[in-house]
Amino acid sequence: MISNLLEGKKGIIFGALNNLSIAWKVAEKAHEQGAEFVLTNVPVSIRMGTINELAEKTNSPVIPADATNVEDLENLTRKTMEHFGGKIDFILHSVAMSPNVRKKREYDNLDYNFLNKTLDISAISFHKMLQTAHKLDAINQWGSVVALSYVAAQRTLYGYNDMADAKALLESIARSFGYIYGREKKVRINTVSQSPTPTTAGSGVKGLDKLLDFSERMSPLGNADAEECADYVVTLFSDLTKKVTMQNLYHDGGFSSMGMSLRAMSQYEKSFEGSD
Amino acid sequence: MISNLLEGKKGIIFGALNNLSIAWKVAEKAHEQGAEFVLTNVPVSIRMGTINELAEKTNSPVIPADATNVEDLENLTRKTMEHFGGKIDFILHSVAMSPNVRKKREYDNLDYNFLNKTLDISAISFHKMLQTAHKLDAINQWGSVVALSYVAAQRTLYGYNDMADAKALLESIARSFGYIYGREKKVRINTVSQSPTPTTAGSGVKGLDKLLDFSERMSPLGNADAEECADYVVTLFSDLTKKVTMQNLYHDGGFSSMGMSLRAMSQYEKSFEGSD
Amino acid sequence: MISNLLEGKKGIIFGALNNLSIAWKVAEKAHEQGAEFVLTNVPVSIRMGTINELAEKTNSPVIPADATNVEDLENLTRKTMEHFGGKIDFILHSVAMSPNVRKKREYDNLDYNFLNKTLDISAISFHKMLQTAHKLDAINQWGSVVALSYVAAQRTLYGYNDMADAKALLESIARSFGYIYGREKKVRINTVSQSPTPTTAGSGVKGLDKLLDFSERMSPLGNADAEECADYVVTLFSDLTKKVTMQNLYHDGGFSSMGMSLRAMSQYEKSFEGSD
Amino acid sequence: MISNLLEGKKGIIFGALNNLSIAWKVAEKAHEQGAEFVLTNVPVSIRMGTINELAEKTNSPVIPADATNVEDLENLTRKTMEHFGGKIDFILHSVAMSPNVRKKREYDNLDYNFLNKTLDISAISFHKMLQTAHKLDAINQWGSVVALSYVAAQRTLYGYNDMADAKALLESIARSFGYIYGREKKVRINTVSQSPTPTTAGSGVKGLDKLLDFSERMSPLGNADAEECADYVVTLFSDLTKKVTMQNLYHDGGFSSMGMSLRAMSQYEKSFEGSD
């Protein structure tokens, strides 16, 4: 029904691995709304995933880039501008990985080279992407940039490990660069703090299924899924949200504003049954 | 260009006094996007303002109601449901007034009857509106309710007086009722924390012009105006933001995330010129 | 061991009902640290509780006052200044009551007269106390005022009802008046957001025992008890915290910064045992 | 007058360069309150500064350590435990440096090797320090760790550059490790968000003098100075704050809760005089 919210808009979408990815859903929804975009991911993810299927479906080029590599980002940005014959209007950053999580190094036993990688991939890559776009003057006035985050940036969840710190850094970069890019080019930068989502990347987090259950019962509207997240990101790319910037926006069915719900507590109480 | 974001949606809009009002702009934008709605305001504001002009333009009935009066709200809600032959999808609450501000009672010399009025008109009215809608089961599943707030709920601004406390209470009510209405009917409730806006109501705040200047220079994107606010509210009424609830959403050009901007500081520094 | 942190300081302590009360513990600890104070409570609580025992133990006068009644507060403040022959240095506000909670009116079925009472007793009383002290110039420079709050002001907990809104209003009043009293008299005003505490007042909250269990398991240091809260309040009354003002300070074993703990989740997981 | 708040407590204090340093003041105050501690800093700062004077005054050993070097931290921690013949009770982290700020690289032109250094020195060092202490089981139950932060972690201040991101990361590490260290050893970890302070390190920030003036006028109690900060940190090391953890505690005269003060606005308005 709604079909032209992003008409004429051009962008770059980072991080679509397969059809579970939030970035994948954003690409589909942005396409539906009339946007054109370049898809990008690190070469290994392009091989492992199915991005070419998405590229075909949305009629988009795929330009590989390692988001931690400034040269790659420059190449991506230049080629994108060549492809569109001009500047772009939006960027999605959906990039996160923690070698400490993968290698099961607990937070009190971090490997610091891994931590540097976590921060570089999951947070500093966002700065690199923005600095590159800014230097090449790649984004139109009133353009919009979104990165995906998680409530672990504000509140500790066991097992989320150094990704929590990476998300806090990511959100800070959004604010810091949001100020610069806003005052100079009217470009807005926000993070969307999404419900835990069973993507391929998310599934590395310890005990995700039980966390999803708890989160579902705590959130009055239930967890937000990847498709709903994509809908929301579309509004942030549209011209209807021009003055929203430097914000971390919770898209989580209300989880972030809950202390305790009746549904979660009723489940919790069952844990004591037959236990006295 | 965008023309059907609220197609088929029905609602109630509180608080359009004249064409400076944010509620007025929301009505215009919602109408553009295909929504139908009932306009309401307290009788004295209907007489003082020009709401009938808006009613005609948007082809909407005007049903007077004092938002602090539960009977009025019941009457309004019932008549609205009769008018549409069913439930509604959205409500805008843009209602605020402080007799202490009007009568120039400073915050350390409040009249407590006035304070009760400030809270009743500017915050408790929101609860009354929600409780009435809930009792009459007036809102469709996945409906959306928005109230307008201001950053004074989090940070003290001299001269904003007891309206700051009213906004804090308003935002709390949005969370508290957002939980209930979310879990039971999937209705979402949020507040939009808007830049200072030179509406007829806003102009009562002491030193508003200088505050607007400071706020404009502090905000990387400048202050958000009433029309931009209306655009944003439209996204919150649309189906693209279904899982956003219990949030206070800053629509302020970045002001809320700023500590000090170069532009504001450059102006501030001028105050010392020739002053040694 | 520590014995003179509040030497020479004089104050007023509101809200000691019996030896479960946080205010009671604050009185004991303040006395240990060399403070002198007046105890006060509403007459019915004085009759119901055992405040005279505390008065004797700490060698303090009891001056009854209804914290919602400005005349009572003026009388209390004047008599306190007479008693000490001068100004005071600290005030504790530990006053909260919700008729809606008592009468089991749910949040979507509030009685608005009850709501007004909840707000008057639990929040506006704090403004009345401060405005009275300010008008009578009753607090010394660098004096300190503390009110007790709860995380429900930020996050919804089912069953906490309109007390959540009252706490949000209370915290806003602390900020608003903190600005005024700070700039004019260097008096600081803060709220302490305490763990759920099994006081006589707290026991009215629905499902408190299970909430206490959950909160205990979520908080890395466990729930803070009334005595620990009193220790913390003592630091806030001391000269060591002179520049802390307009803050809401969590004293909760870490609860407010937790999203999910291993201990709480392990318990939660037990609820699914044998349930498939 | 107050003289035994830290009696019997042992600790490590990082970052005293000279008598302008907050760490220096903390050492003096902790000494006054009966604490014993080891002083540490990176060798170059030991040579540049006057830490030996402080060591003599407080009768403390100086053990050099680069806070980014895990081996150095292990050596420091072991030697400290040898010195005291057992575990310690508190740690102060007052370590921050940005090569990007020093080399005047603006935030949209960061050198990424410099950024890595900023994060390593100013934030990751805190994790290294905590992980080392945790592995060596160096901190007694109910011990207390404090790191110094700044409001730039939440709100962007022009010129503060990548230190803002470092502070956001630092505060996240405090929460993440606060959970682990709390649940396992009852050790609490907090950050103190201090007013801008004219230390030798702070003086590198662009336009600090005007920022100090603005901050002074915005804060109802004025800026907090290094000595007042030290007083506050002493309360956090004491047994009176045992249940405060994972918090970022503003010690800033109220700045963080202000939107606009009369004093700052009056000064700001002067900037327009004679300008029409």
Instruction: Provide the pLDDT for residue A212.
Output: 93
The neighbour count for residue A43, using CB atoms within 10 Å, is 11
Give yes or no for D113 touching A (CB within 8 A).
no
Phi, psi of D86 (to 5 degrees): 165, -165
CA distances from B231 to A240, B6, B33, D213 (A): 5, 12, 10, 38
Burial B19-28 (b: 16+ CB within 10 A, else e): bbbbbbbbbb
B88-93/B36-40 β-pairing: unpaired
Percent of chain C residues topping a pLDDT of 70 = 96
Instruction: Provide the pLDDT for residue A276.
Output: 45
**pLDDT single digits (tens) D219-234:** 999 999 999 999 999 9
Is residue D74 a contact partner of residue D132, using CB atoms and an 8 Å limit? Answer: yes
State CA A51 to chain mean position distance. 17
Give yes or no for B134 touching A (CB within 8 A).
no
Instruction: Provide the pLDDT for residue B204.
Output: 62
Q: Do D156 and A110 touch (CB under 8 A)?
A: no
Identify the helix (H) or strand (E) that includes residue D211.
helix D208-218
Give yes or no for B252 touching C (CB within 8 A).
no
Give yes or no for C91 touching D (CB within 8 A).
no
Per-residue pLDDT band for D186 (boundaries 50, 70, 90) equals: very high
Percent of chain B residues topping a pLDDT of 90 = 91
Q: What's the pTM value of the predicted model, to 2 decimals?
A: 0.97
- To test the contact with chain D by mutation, choose from B150, B158, B250 the residue with the greatest count of D C-beta atoms within 10 A, namely B158
Q: Which of residues 17-56 of B touch C (CB under 8 A)?
A: none
Phi, psi of B133 (to 5 degrees): -60, -40
Q: Which two tokens stand for residue C132?
A: 């009275």
- To test the contact with chain D by mutation, choose from A125, A165, A169, A193 the residue with the greatest count of D C-beta atoms within 10 A, namely A165
B248-251/B188-194 β-pairing: parallel
Q: Could you give all domains of chain C from N- to C-terminal order, each with its CATH number?
A: 10-270 (3.40.50.720)
Q: Do D110 and A116 touch (CB under 8 A)?
A: no
Chain D CB contacts of A182 below 8 Å: none
Q: Do B258 and D207 touch (CB under 8 A)?
A: no
Q: Which two tokens stand for residue B5?
A: 């974001």
Q: Do A257 and B178 touch (CB under 8 A)?
A: yes
Q: Which chains share 3+ C-beta pairs under 8 angstroms with D?
A: A, B, C
Mean pLDDT of chain C, nearest integer: 95
Residue among C156, C159, C268 minimizing CB distance to A210: C268
Q: Which amino acid is at C34?
A: G
Mean pLDDT of chain D, nearest integer: 95
- Reply yes or no on whether the pLDDT at D216 is more than 80: yes
Give yes or no for B141 touching A (CB within 8 A).
no
Mean pLDDT of chain B, nearest integer: 95
- Reply yes or no on whether the pLDDT at D206 is more than 90: no
Chain A CB contacts of D116 below 8 Å: 116
Longest dimension (CA), chain C: 71
Q: Do D268 and B210 touch (CB under 8 A)?
A: yes
The helix/strand count (H/E) of chain C reads as: 11, 8
Instruction: Provide the pLDDT for residue B129.
Output: 98
Q: Do C169 and B172 touch (CB under 8 A)?
A: yes
Phi, psi of C73 (to 5 degrees): -70, -35
Chain B CB contacts of D265 below 8 Å: 158, 207, 210-211, 214
Per-residue pLDDT band for D175 (boundaries 50, 70, 90) equals: very high
**pLDDT single digits (tens) D10-39:** 999 999 999 999 999 999 999 999 999 999
Instruction: Provide the pLDDT for residue B259.
Output: 97
Q: How far is A237 from chain C (nearest CA, A)?
A: 29
Q: How far is B230 from chain A (nearest CA, A)?
A: 9
What is the spatial distance between Cα D41 and Cα D45, in angstroms, rounded to a whole number? 6
Sites in chain A below the pLDDT cut of 70 = 1-2, 201-206, 274-276
Residue among D180, D240, D245 minimizing CB distance to C253: D245
Name residue D188's beta-bridge partners.
Answer: D144
Q: Which amino acid is at A92?
A: L
Instruction: Provide the pLDDT for residue A112.
Output: 98
Instruction: Provide the pLDDT for residue D267.
Output: 92
Give yes or no for C168 touching A (CB within 8 A).
no
State CA B197 to chain mean position distance. 11
What is the spatial distance between Cα B6 and Cα B59, in angstroms, rounded to a whole number? 16
- To test the contact with chain C by mutation, choose from D1, D2, D25, D130 the residue with the greatest count of C C-beta atoms within 10 A, namely D2
Q: Do B221 and A186 touch (CB under 8 A)?
A: yes
Helices (H), D85-143: 99-102, 112-119, 125-135
Name residue C251's beta-bridge partners.
Answer: C194
Size of interface A-C (CB pairs under 8 A): 76
What is the spatial distance between Cα B214 and Cα D259, in angstroms, rounded to a whole number? 11
ipTM for the complex?
0.97
What is the spatial distance between Cα C247 and Cα C189, in angstroms, rounded to a whole number? 8
What is the spatial distance between Cα C206 and Cα A16, in angstroms, rounded to a whole number? 46
